[in-house]
Chain A
Amino acid sequence: QQPVQSPQAVILREGEDAVINCSSSKALYSVHWYRQKHGEAPVFLMILLKGGEQKGHEKISASFNEKKQQSSLYLTASQLSYSGTYFCGTGGVPGRRALTFGSGTRLQVQP
């Protein structure tokens, strides 16, 4: 079943923060975050594994709450380059099947 992402779209000014959420009705083993810029392929950002770890990449970090079966992506002090559509991909049993992607969150950062 497809994970649910919220919000569907968000507009920010440079320097503002944003949170994107990804929720699943099924047990999760992993959550993957990707960013896709217009006309380009999705690019891998980070993966979070079962265990509630939090990861970060520069000013983008994410958390994984396995009890709530959800993950959140945090964008701090957003830059123009952060604009794009963010997808979460959720994994079930390790090593089996493919990821199931959410419908995406469109993020636009304005000067």
Chain B
Amino acid sequence: EADIYQTPRYLVIGTGKKITLECSQTMGHDKMYWYQQDPGMELHLIHYSYGVNSTEKGDLSSESTVSRIRTEHFPLTLESARPSHTSQYLCASSEYTNREQDTQYFGPGTRLTVL
């Protein structure tokens, strides 16, 4: 069973505030990802990391930034939240093996509302 955690689960915040969404995994996975998903809609990759000190932007342009200082931790930061950032943010991790390429395990998500 996957052990990947996200906090907070729900966040309501005012415009202009700086926020950090936390994501941690205890599986020792090298690869971690952040997705943005509006309710009932598709998953958009916004950031991913191959390992410590490795981060890349995904397909969807995002004003957020990420860091990967420790293998197990992949926080996402919004310097100045805006209503357009309102969405669900899903964190995932994976470990590449010969048998299971990049099978991703998802955290429970953070539902962000910016007023």
Contacts and interface: CB of A to CB of B under 8 A. Distances in A.
Interface in B5-30: none
Nearest to B105: A44
A47 B96 contact: no
Contacts, number: 57
A43 B106 contact: yes
Of listed B101, B106, B109, residue having the most chain A CB within 10 A: B101
Interface string B92-115: 000010001111111111000000
A89 B102 CA distance: 10
B111 to A, nearest CB: 9
Contact of B101 (A43, A49, A87, A100): A49
Interface residues of A, number: 26
B74 interface: no
A89 B59 CA distance: 14
Interface string B48-72: 1000000000110000000000000
Contacts of A49: 101
Given A30-B101, A32-B104, A101-B43, A42 B59 contact: no
A46 to B, nearest CB: 9
Dominant secondary structure at the B interface: loop
Nearest to A98: B48
A87 B109 contact: no
A90 B41 CA distance: 17
B90 A98 contact: no
A60 B92 CA distance: 24
A30 B101 CA distance: 7
Interface in A25-53: 29-30, 32, 40-44, 47, 49
Interface of B: 31, 33, 40-43, 45, 48, 58-59, 90, 96, 100-109
